[in-house]
Structure 1
């Protein structure tokens, strides 16, 4: 319970340190396609999250979703996009902490990321590496909607 209160306080405080014109998004989860097809994973991963730009290269995000093991996963992530590919696409890395997976109450993650942003809709794709016994690898597609 103390850890949850700390996360909430940190997220609230970080909102005050962001530029006033920063883009904000609500994510609703998405889909995953696992490399090991015979493990019976849940590949419809609905959820609810929040993402906010720090600057042109950095964003942070936090939320909850139903993971591939059919458990609730909470996450806090930083997204770094050093490569602007044009036409709304950018690429980089996403790292942070997640809950709800094998063998550990909290896991650290670092994933290659590709994002496309339109006026209202954004799509974000991650490649989750297989790290046994903790995580089964997958390609993930997440849907985000701008609200500012």
Structure 2
């Protein structure tokens, strides 16, 4: 019985075969559910961003949004999502952010954020599990709806 359960568990996580792609996605920012609900943080983070998926496991992303501290942020990064669980891609985005007043006085800083993505035909969602960092950045589940505009 245990061997069967372990085998079933192994079938849940699969590696994605790395193949070239050419897809462009646009998004209108994020909705963030902050873990620290008592901080009066801004959950609605409108903006404009783009993601270019150049392979089945990787894409580049850039954009601008109104952040949790009620200031404008810019971001630039690379998604690497080599694992799939059913229709979900799992990995992380590594890149840089700016615009958070308590983090490097609003300047650029590096970040590594775990992500889960779901894409179906022309629509998708990226979910970021944003970690807290001291009293400078506040953790959240961030949801980013996206629309495929070029293929």
User: How would you bin the TM-score normalised by the shorter chain?
Assistant: 0.7 to 0.9
**Equivalent pair of 1:91/1:114 in contact (CA under 8 Å):** yes
The alignment covers a number of residue pairs equal to: 128
Distance in 2, matches of 1:135 and 1:106, equals 13
**Equivalent pair of 2:103/2:137 in contact (CA under 8 Å):** no
Query: Does the residue aligned with 1:124 lie in a helix, a strand or coil?
Result: strand
Flag the structure with larger Rg.
Answer: 2
Give 4+ residue runs of structure 1 displaced > 4 Å after superposition. Answer: none
Give the TM-score taking structure 1 as reference length: 0.83
C-alpha distance after superposition, 1:105-134 (max 9, x if no partner): 112111110000011111000011011133
Structure 2 gap segments, 5+ residues each: 1-19
Distance in 2, matches of 1:83 and 1:69, equals 32
Distance in 2, matches of 1:145 and 1:43, equals 21
C-alpha displacement at 1:99, in angstroms? Answer: 0.4
RMSD: 1.2
Give the TM-score taking structure 2 as reference length: 0.81
Q: Which moved more, 1:121-130 or 1:78-87?
A: 78-87
Match of 1:53 in 2: 53
Match of 1:121 in 2: 123
Match of 2:111 in 1: 109
